[in-house]
Amino acid sequence: MPTLSFYPTQVLSASAFSASELSKVLGNTSTEATHTDSIGTYAGLGGTFRIDMSALPASAIVSGLRAQVLALASATNIRAFYSFEIYNGDSILKTNQSSVPTSLSQWTASVTASELAARGINTAALRGSGLEWANNFLSLGTSYATLYWQKFWVDVDYTLPAGVPNPLFFNELF
């Protein structure tokens, strides 16, 4: 089953981070967006993005997707990975709070094909530009700390109908 990785292409909104800082997360980059401050306990930090998925074949049958985040914090137990959301007038929200460690770490949130279908998110919607993709961190305390957000991307697992060549794999039949 092929998997394609897609990266943010536009910042729509920012929470705690500045929009210019979040622009460092756009694309497949290793540049870090940073937020340094003391903010309230349970305050959110994050951003909402557009992700261009037009490279997904139009005939793709999506079996699921995974939001992936790479980040680290300047202190332990002060910031947490918290949520991922897909918004299209309705939303799919995935929460899984886990502390952001002091070494670069990956956080994943999975969305199934049935969850996408229940919200009317089909291949055409994924390929279009109407979806908003959000990732949020959570402050676990009021201590002064830095959050280093290196990367945000979405992996899409898909298959193609029998006999349909995949243009991304030199028209091989799957």
Residue by residue, DSSP assigns 42-105 as T-EEEEEEEE--TTS-TT-EEEEEEEEEEEEESSTTSEEEEEEEEESSSEEEEEEEEE--SS-E
pLDDT value for 90: 85
Q: What is the CATH number of the domain that holds 88?
A: 2.60.120
pLDDT value for 170: 52
Residue with tokens 């349909």: 164
Q: Write the CB contacts of 3 (distance below 8 Å, at least 6 apart in sequence).
A: 155, 156, 157, 158
Q: CA 170 → CA 74, 116, 144, 162, 163, distances in Å?
A: 45, 28, 51, 16, 14
pLDDT value for 166: 64
Q: What is the sign, positive or negative, of the torsion defined by CA atoms of 141, 151, 83, 99?
A: negative
Q: Collapsing DSSP states into helix, strand and coil, what is residue 8?
A: strand
Against a cut of 0.95, is the pTM above it? no
pLDDT digits (tens, 9 = 90+) for 99-120: 999 999 999 999 999 999 999 9
pLDDT digits (tens, 9 = 90+) for 124-138: 999 998 999 999 999
Give the C-alpha separation, 155 to 153, whole Å: 7
How many distinct structural domains can be found in the chain?
Answer: 1
Which of the residues in the chain have pLDDT under 70? 164-174
Give the helix/strand (H/E) hosting 150.
strand 145-159
Q: CA 81 → CA 2, 77, 84, 95, 98, distances in Å?
A: 27, 11, 9, 9, 5
Give the C-alpha separation, 70 to 92, whole Å: 21
pLDDT value for 42: 94
In which domain, by residue range, is 166 found? Answer: 3-173
